Structure 1
Amino acid sequence: MATMLFLAGVVLVFVGIALSIALHEIGHLVPAKRFGVRVPQYMVGFGPTVFSRRRGETEYGVKAIPLGGYIRMIGMFPPRAGDEPGTIRTSSTGRFSQLADEARAQSFEEVRPGDEDRLFYKLSVPKKITVMLGGPMMNLLIAFVIFGGIFTLYGTVQTSPRLSSVSECVDLTKAGQSTAQECTPDMPTAPANEAGLRPGDTITAINGQAVTTWDEVRAQIRANGDREMRIAVDRGGRDETVTATPIVLDQPKIGDDGRVVEDAKGQPVLEQAGFLGASGTPVRVKQPVTEVPALFGDMLVTTFSAVAKIPQKLVGVYQAAFGSEERDPESPMSVVGVGRVAGEVASSDEFGTPAEKLMMIISLIGSLNLMLFAFNLIPLLPLDGGHVAGALWEGVKKGWARVRGLPDPGPVDVAKALPLAYGVALTFIAMTVLLVYADIVKPIKLL
């Protein structure tokens, strides 16, 4: 049974990934066709073709390696100045220029009579940007629908001021600790325990100031330092007040967004703050529709931050894969790792009810779409962001020419950046190989 559930989780997440890739390419396909560009091919995957069917002027199909997808548009690159479209003039400037010339020629291979005005490079700057952003924006829309539905219909996990546990003791040598701390005779009693707080108590006020969330409770305790504080609690319907004196410890710094602040190496920044030794109770709260944009915006910020840290995280992945270091649970994963995580969630009772497991897997698909959105905006070819950057530069050049009364400089020759694009592509391939290997020999474990 566990094996079947594991496979079901893997299949579900891979179907979600395949649909996300397919919709990403539709995000490119629809505006390209709308603007008149001829699109000979729409494919999900790479490598040998498994299935294809031609409808109209476009071949739609699925390829064997499900690591992406593409649409092929005619006239992606403009001819070099002075050349006729589709011709290759022998270059005297080396192999890099020859690569660009060959790419220009390939982009014209399927140009037919009557296609002269259906070439991608002839689109206006806004239309080029719309076509290239169509894919990432589709991933953003998928993620927004997924998380908007989860926020409003299923809810988000928040921590209430109702105590779920109270520490017995405090380890003064440890920065950041849980209420499950193992005690030794030399450890002092936790302030919450000494004050008589119990699991099930609901903190209602601290030093006369009402609190309704655990974040407010935590902020009050941390700011209070080692001064005595009065804590009002609801204990089984009775209002009681206890007095506690927190202990000041080195603890991870909490930012204004409620998250732990990290340094340049990804390690928590520590600060001296009050510690009580009690934990709130996680509860799921359905959010109003008006809260969705703010919650989704926070997720976007977190995603862009994660993308920026990928090079740094890859160092840790390499050290874990080829050394004895532990794998960072927040390190990037390949599709192999994502599938394994989905399988673990589906097959283990530790992740709650079937509905909770399903929500976790759907959330994983939503997070992947957010990552695809952010990653594709990197302004490097062959990513969509690289083409957008080229179009924006074209717009700047044309605008500057208009202001100065100069002739239209024409389209930007993005093909000149192809040597860099090949380097970026090789880097991505190496990154994928590393992540797949790490996900096999040193996978991220949720339990």
Structure 2
Amino acid sequence: MLAYIFGVVLFALGICVSVALHEAGHMVTAKWFGMKVRRYFVGFGPTVFSFRRGETEYGLKWIPLGGFCDIAGMTALDEVTPEESPRAMWRFKTWKRTVVMVAGSVTHFLLGFIVLYLMAATMGLPNITGTPQVAAVSNCVQDARTTDQVSNPQCRPGDAAPAKSADLRAGDEIVSVNGTATKTYADVIDIIQRASGPTNLVVDRDGAMVPLVVDVPQVDRPVRRADAPADAPPEIAKTGSIGVTFPKMFEYNAATAFGGATAFTGDMFVQTWQRLIEFPERIPAVVSSIFGGERDPNTPVSVVGASRIGGEAVEQGLWELFLLLLASLNFFIGVFNLLPLLPLDGGHIAVVWYERVRDWLRKLRGKAAGGPVDYTKLSAVTVVLVLIGGAVTLLTITADIVNPIRISQ
């Protein structure tokens, strides 16, 4: 129980640090360009303490959820003193204002990458995309009635070694089997299990496409039917096997971890974008789970739910899951914050560039630049988006309390 509580607190602390650094990204870039930063606070609510350093007040609030960076004149409608006016944010060039507003999300991306690099260099990175890269080639393939016999065959002279005989090597990535593209190792396993006799493979070996022919034997294997009860013993059935294993984790050293973390970051960006696209259609499942429906592990979670999963991960010693969840949350927040919707940073960026493009078109027509966008006309849309965001947050928090996603699922 203590390990679980420690994990929850540690994950929540990680989120707070991420958000604090997000706001620090805005502050540092704003100061770098010469903008006036009035305040930088971590948290919300009553002030715990604060101090002034130069022209900026720094402090901590009682509620450690979020934070803020108060930059003078973020829009032309914001009130500024005569002293602040020359350094108001809205007076700076479009690209500088964009850099300041993007800096928060970039900070999340950097944090996520650092977490992934440390994972890669110390414990490896999970094969989340199911890359069909061969981890090891067995010396033989035999009949087996238990998973231990499958994993640790007692090879005898003359036993079939299909993969080894076909010159399949560790590090090869199987790109097709019998002309069918295999994007994941699950695709490879599915085709091989139904195959028998000479089977054509194409592997990517150090960038070269190498054709191979492997003679697939049908052997006894323990198989569990999808509709079988959880406590039912596996059945023994004939299935194709070639004697290879695929990695659940990719291992790196300090040097190769950079490339591994970079590639993994790209995969996570793709998955994050896919999750954002699927977000609206998963909300009904969240509502259903609140009223007793089974909680889909792919439904959105709140900070509460993520912290609970982090606590379970620490309790079970799954530090790789804890760190992966922390990295993925940073990527999600970073991407979400760039959506062109007010009051997100992406919404402010969209308005800034709308003004820039509008003034450029006016200049082509010989007209003077237009005035700043009147944010008050967008207030109704902003209020609606805030209400929707608040409702979704309330739903996910409720679901994470009454029917949380658990690692055991």
Assess same fold via TM > 0.5: yes
**Secondary structure class of the residue paired with 1:49:** strand
The alpha-carbon distance between structure 1 residues 135 and 306, as it changes in their structure 2 partners (threshold 3 A), is same
- Residue in 2 aligned with 1:301? 270
CA distance in 1 between partners of 2:368 and 2:344 (Å): 30
The 8 Å contact of residues 229 and 245 in structure 1, kept in 2 or not, is answered as no
| Pairing partner for 1:144 from 110, 113, 116 | 113
Contact 2:252–2:260 under 8 Å retained in 1: no
Aligned-partner Cα distance in 2 for 1:213–1:222: 20
**Secondary structure of the corresponding residue to residue 205 of structure 1:** helix
CA positional deviation for 1:303: 1.0
CA distance in 2, matches of 1:55, 1:227: 71
Determine whether 1:199 maps to 2:151.
yes
Corresponding residue of 1:135? 104
Letter in 2 for 1:406: K
Amino acid at match of 1:205: A
1:327 aligns with 2:295: yes
Instruction: Map residues 233-248 of structure 1 onto 2, 5 A cutoff.
Output: 243-244=217-218
- Check the 8 A contact 1:204/1:211 in 2, yes or no: no
Aligned equivalent of 1:62 = 60
Q: Which residue of 2 aligns with 1:414?
A: 375
SS at match of 1:53: strand
Partners of 1:135 and 1:372 lie apart in 2 by 10
Q: Which amino acid aligns with 1:334?
A: S
> Offset at 1:5?
1.1
Once residues 61 and 289 of structure 2 are traced to their aligned partners in structure 1, the CA distance between those partners, rounded to angstroms, is 32
Q: What are the residue-to-residue correspondences of 1:73-152 with 2, within 5 Å?
A: 73-78=71-76, 104=77, 107-108=78-79, 111-152=80-121
Structure 1 residues 298 and 27, CA, compared in 2 at 3 Å: closer, same or farther? same
Picking from 287, 290, 306, the partner of 1:338 is 306
Q: What is the identity, as a one-letter code, of the residue corresponding to 2:72? A: I
Q: Which amino acid aligns with 2:363?
A: R
Matched residues in 1 for 2:393 and 2:287: separation?
Answer: 12
- Matches of 2:68 and 2:354, distance apart in 1: 24
Contact kept? 2:137, 2:164, Cα under 8 Å:
no
How far apart are 1:28 and its partner, in Å? 0.6
Secondary structure in 2 aligned to 1:378?
Answer: coil
* 1:224-373 matched pairs, under 5 angstroms: 226-230=194-198, 243-244=217-218, 276=240, 282-286=248-252, 288=256, 289-322=258-291, 324-348=292-316, 351=317, 357-373=318-334
Aligned with residue 386 of structure 1, among 338, 342, 347:
347
**What do residues 255-281 of structure 1 show as CA deviations (whole Å, max 9, x unaligned)?**
xxxxxxxxxxxxxxxxxxxx7489756
Give the gaps of 5 or more residues in structure 2.
128-133, 156-160, 175-184, 200-213, 226-238
Letter of the structure 1 residue corresponding to residue 365 of structure 2: R
1:282 Cα deviation from its structure 2 partner: 3.5
Query: Which residue of structure 2 lines up, in the alignment, with residue 212 of structure 1?
Result: 170
Mark the CA change 1:224 to 1:361 in structure 2 (over 3 Å): closer, same or farther: closer
- The one-letter amino acid of 1:316's match is A
Distance 2:396 2:372 in 1: 38
In structure 2, what is the Cα distance between the partners aligned to 1:446 and 1:398?
A: 53
Q: Quick one: which amino acid aligns to residue 337 of structure 2?
A: N
Q: Deviations 1:198-248 (Å, cap 9, x if unpaired)?
A: 3335976299462536973654454568442359xxxxxxxx9762299xx
Q: Which residue of 2 aligns with 1:25?
A: 23
The aligned counterpart of 2:210 is none
Q: What stretches of structure 1 of length at least 5 have no aligned partner? A: 79-103, 167-190, 232-239, 252-274, 352-356
What is the rounded CA distance, in whole Å, between the counterparts of 1:436 and 1:64 in structure 2?
Answer: 21
- Matched with 1:96 is none
Contact 1:6 1:347 (8 Å CA) reproduced: yes
Q: Which moved more, 1:390-399 or 1:50-59?
A: 50-59
1:34 corresponds to: 32
> Is the Cα contact below 8 Å between 2:124 and 2:249 reproduced in 1?
no
After TM superposition, the structure 1 stretch with the greater mean CA deviation from structure 2, 408-417 or 428-437, is 408-417
- In the alignment, what sits opposite 2:204? none
Partner Cα separation in structure 1 for residue 284 and residue 164 of structure 2: 44
Q: How many residues align?
A: 349
CA distance in structure 2 between the partners assigned to 1:367 and 1:205 by the alignment? 36
Tell me which amino acid in the other structure corresponds to 1:441: V
For 1:41 and 1:208, the matched residues in 2 are separated by: 67
Cα distance, 1:377 vs structure 2: 0.9
Which position in structure 2 is the counterpart of 1:395? 356
Task: Classify the secondary structure of the residue corresponding to 1:390.
Answer: helix
Q: CA distance change for structure 1 residues 130 and 414 in 2, over 3 Å: closer, same or farther?
A: farther
Task: For 2:299, give the aligned amino acid.
Answer: S
Structure 1 residue 293 displacement after superposition: 2.2
Q: Deviations over 1:76-115 (max 9, x none)?
A: 232xxxxxxxxxxxxxxxxxxxxxxxxx3xx20xx22322
Distance 1:327 1:401, change over 3 A: same
Q: 1:321-375: per-residue Cα shift (whole Å, max 9, x none)?
A: 12x3211112221121122112112223xx4xxxxx3333222221111111111
TM-score by length of 1: 0.69
SS in 2 for 1:127: helix
Against the structure 1 CA distance between its residues 156 and 131, is the aligned structure 2 distance closer, same or farther, given a 3 Å change threshold?
Answer: same
Residue of structure 2 equivalent to 1:426: 387
Paired position in structure 2 for 1:354: none
Q: Cα–Cα, structure 1 residues 49 and 423, in superposed 2: closer, same or farther, change >3 Å?
A: farther
- TM-score normalised by the chain length of structure 2: 0.75
Contact 1:53 1:60 (8 Å CA) reproduced = yes
What is the percentage of aligned positions where both structures have the same residue?
A: 34
Among 69, 72, 76, the residue aligned to 2:70? 72
2:163 aligned partner, one-letter code = A
